[in-house]
Every structure is written in C-alpha cells, then in structure tokens.
C-alpha cells in the first residue's frame, strides 16, 4: 500500500516536472505608445519572430499604450524584474542616472536618420548601451521613431510665439532647457496623460513625432502643428540583465537574432510611419500643418543652440563633440 502511494507520488512529481519543462518562458514587453506606431509594430514583429523561431518555447506578451505601466514606472518594473523587456524613449534614461543619453535630446543635433544611425549603429551607440549595465539593464538595440513636430492652439512659427505657453515634455533636463530657451514653461507629464492635458488646457502644447501625435489623437485637440524637426525621438530596447543572462544559451541566441531582424524592420518602417501619420493629420483637417522657411528655421536653431552648451557638463563635452564629428553639426556656423 505504502509502496503504491509512493509510486503515485513519484509519478505525479515527474508529471508536474514535465509540465513545467513545457511551460513557455514568458517575456512581458511593455510600452507606452499605440500598436500602430514604429515602436508598437516593432514590438509585435519581435513577438512574432521570437515565438516562431523558438517554436513556442518563448511567449512574448506585448502590452501597448501604457496598459501595464506609465513612463517612469516601467523602468522601475524592469529593474525589479516585473517586466522583462521595454523600449523607452532615450530621454527616459537621464532620470535613471545615465545622463549621457540626453545627448539625443539636444535640439537640432541630428539633421536626418543617416546622421543619427552613424551614432547609434557605431561605437558611440554601443558604449552608451554599456552604461546601462550597472543599473541591472542590458541594452539590445536602438529603435527609431523620428523627428519631432511642435503643436499648440496658436501657430508656432517664431521662437517668440512660445512665450508663456505651457508645453508638455518628457522628464528630461535637456527638454526642459529647450522649452525655456523658447520662452515656454515646460511641464513634465507621462505620455498617457498628454491627450487629456491638452484637451482640458492643463498644457497648451507639446512635441512628438507625427506618429505619436496622430495615434494619441493629439491633433484633434491642437489647432496647429509645426514641422520644426527640432529634435529626435527614438528608443533603446532593453531587458532585465539577470533575466536575460539566465536564459538557456540557445534561446538567448535565437532571441538575439529575432531582435536583430525586428530592429531592421522597425527602423525601416519608422520614416514612412511618420510620413503617413502626418498625411493622416493633414487629411483629418483638424490641425493646420505649418512649415518653416529657411530663415525661420535658422531663428529656431539660433534660439536653441545654447542648450548644447548648458548641458555640456552633465552630458559630457567629449561625447557631444564626438557626435558633432559624425553629423557635421557646427554651432559656430549658425
Ligand atoms: C513621450 O513620452 O512623449 C514618448 O517617449 C513616448 C514614446 O515612447 O514614444
């Protein structure tokens, strides 16, 4: 009798061990934007590749639109291991103590995607990602969004037009200085709160690439959108270091391959996603789209370039100079 129950017990244990062995490894991938954006689509594509290539041994759960966590909380959740993967905007790493990342927020430091990729895909990008390791984070890739527009309920054509406007920003010291240099009053708000803040007049305006503006319907509560391209917004795809390093080696290698391909996909679609979103804003007729003349753009650059110097100390003069070298940006020529 005793022997029989022992055998049943052993069999039950073996069964649950086998069942456990078949449980997929779950990667929660949380982000704050809509699915229909470069980041949202990139996350879905990574999920598809990861699940196909690991033949179901990995399950990627993508939580879009801040359904799990808002901006700052998601980084804390990753460090605690409550989520395994995120793609926060580069601006979000400054408050974590990685101030070098604020270099990406400097106004007009990048003119186009090609300039930017020379930095993110080269040694500077790699050394920046390394800086996250001491915070329990591994940086896997840079994903593009695009160049920012400014929006408000009044036309923003000249720096003077910003005077006294409350402008929503991400929590970045550089973006704070940028808005102040234009005479505006910066207000930090989580991304998920921006639409309502614009609608109720808590803030007057904001900045973001067109894909974020359009998918959050910000254009429905902003009368004017200026194509200023005054700064870049992009992401680092990051994972909890302990989790990633604890994965079986074959799985990790497969996931690295999936991330490489998802990165190419996300970066290939980013510009078109933004162009299409802008076209959709235009078609909606809810916001008027304003372009800047060469002279107007020059006036914006002149007003904003001092932000570079103001943040040299915290970001690192050498880092800023090394990026100027890659992009050809020369503040003395403005
Ligand atoms: C924002 O907060 O404006 C952006 O970081 C949102 C995003 O992730 O694109």
Q: How many CA atoms lie within 13 A of 219 on its CB side?
A: 25
Q: Is 191's C-beta closer than 6 angstroms to any atom of ligand 1?
A: yes
Q: How far is the CA of 191 from the centre of ligand 1 (A)?
A: 6
Q: How far apart are alpha carbons 334 and 331 in whole angstroms? A: 6
Q: Is 274 in the pocket of ligand 1 (CB under 6 A)?
A: no
Q: How far, in Å, from the CA of 198 to the mean position of ligand 1?
A: 15
* Residue 206 near ligand 1, beta carbon < 6 Å: no
- The pLDDT of residue 3 is 52
Ligand 1 pocket, residue 327 CB under 6 Å:
no
Q: C-alpha angle 73/107/130, rounded to 5°?
A: 50
Mean pLDDT of the chain: 94
Tokens of 174: 């550089």
pTM of the model: 0.93
Nearest ligand 1 atom, CA 88: 8
Contacts of 45 (CB under 8 A, 6+ apart): 261, 262, 265, 266
Q: What is the pLDDT along the chain (334 residues), one digit of tens a residue?
A: 455 565 555 555 544 554 555 799 999 999 999 999 999 999 999 999 999 999 999 999 999 999 999 988 999 999 999 999 999 999 999 999 999 999 999 999 999 999 999 999 999 999 999 999 999 999 999 999 999 999 999 999 999 999 999 999 999 999 999 999 999 999 999 999 999 999 999 999 999 999 999 999 999 999 999 999 999 999 999 999 999 999 999 999 999 999 999 999 999 999 999 999 999 999 999 999 999 999 999 999 999 999 999 999 999 999 999 999 999 999 888 8
E strand or H helix at 146: strand 137-147
The span from the CA of 217 to the CA of 328, in Å, is: 36
The CATH topology of domain 17-329 is: D-Maltodextrin-Binding Protein; domain 2 (3.40.190)
Between CA 316 and CA 268 the distance in angstroms is: 31
Gap from CA of 273 to ligand 1 centroid (Å):
15
State the pLDDT at residue 22: 75
Instruction: Name the closest-CA residue to atom 5, ligand 1.
Output: 89
Contact in structure between 34 and 216 (CB atoms under 8 Å): yes
Residue nearest to atom 2 of ligand 1 (CA): 191
pLDDT in tens, 39-92: 999 999 999 999 999 999 999 999 999 999 998 899 999 999 999 999 999 999
Q: Where are the alpha helices (DSSP H) in the chain?
A: 2-22, 38-53, 71-80, 113-120, 123-130, 173-181, 194-200, 210-215, 241-245, 249-284, 294-304, 306-310, 312-315, 317-327
Give residue 169 CA to ligand 1 midpoint distance, Å.
Answer: 9
* Per-residue pLDDT, 1: 47
pLDDT of residue 15: 47
Tens-place pLDDT, residues 94-104: 999 999 999 99
Q: What angle do CA 156, 158, 162 make, to 5 degrees?
A: 60
Ligand 1: atom nearest CA of 191 is: 2
Which pLDDT value is given to residue 9?
56
CA of 11 to the centre of ligand 1 (A): 51
Gap from CA of 17 to ligand 1 centroid (Å): 42
Query: Which of 32, 74, 214 to probe ligand 1 with, by most ligand atoms within 8 A of CB?
Result: 32
């Amino acid at each position: 009798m005793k022997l029989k129950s022992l055998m049943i017990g052993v069999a039950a244990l073996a069964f649950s061990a086998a069942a456990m062995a078949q449980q997929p490894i779950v990667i929660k991938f949380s982000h704050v934007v809509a699915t229909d954006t470069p980041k949202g689509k990139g996350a879905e594509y990574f999920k598809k590749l990861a699940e196909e290539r690991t033949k179901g041994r990995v399950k990627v759960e993508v939580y879009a639109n801040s359904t799990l966590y808002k901006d700052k909380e998601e980084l804390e959740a990753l460090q605690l291991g409550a989520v395994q993967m995120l793609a926060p905007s580069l601006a979000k790493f400054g408050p974590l103590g990685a101030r070098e990342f604020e270099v990406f927020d400097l106004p007009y430091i990048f003119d186009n995607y090609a300039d930017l990729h020379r930095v993110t895909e080269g040694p500077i990008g790699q050394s920046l990602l390394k800086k996250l390791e001491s915070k329990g984070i591994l940086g896997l890739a840079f994903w593009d969004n695009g160049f920012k527009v400014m929006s408000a309920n009044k036309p923003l054509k000249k720096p003077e037009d910003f005077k006294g406007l409350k402008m929503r920003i991400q929590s970045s010291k550089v973006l704070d200085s940028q808005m102040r240099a234009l005479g505006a009053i910066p207000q930090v708000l989580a991304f998920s709160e921006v639409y309502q803040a614009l609608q109720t007049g808590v803030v007057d305006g904001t900045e973001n690439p067109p894909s974020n503006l359009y998918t959050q319907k910000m254009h429905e509560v902003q009368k004017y959108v200026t194509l200023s391209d005054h700064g870049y917004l992009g992401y680092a795809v990051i994972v909890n270091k302990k989790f990633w390093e604890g994965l079986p080696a074959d799985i990790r290698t497969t996931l690295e391959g999936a991330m490489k391909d998802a990165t190419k996909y996300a970066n290939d679609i980013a510009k078109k996603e933004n162009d299409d979103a802008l076209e959709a804003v235009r078609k909606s007729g809810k916001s008027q789209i304003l372009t800047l003349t060469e002279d107007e753009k020059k006036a914006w650059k002149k007003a904003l370039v001092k932000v570079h110097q103001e943040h040299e100390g915290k970001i690192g003069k050498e880092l800023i100079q090394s990026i100027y070298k890659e992009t050809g940006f020369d503040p003395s020529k403005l």
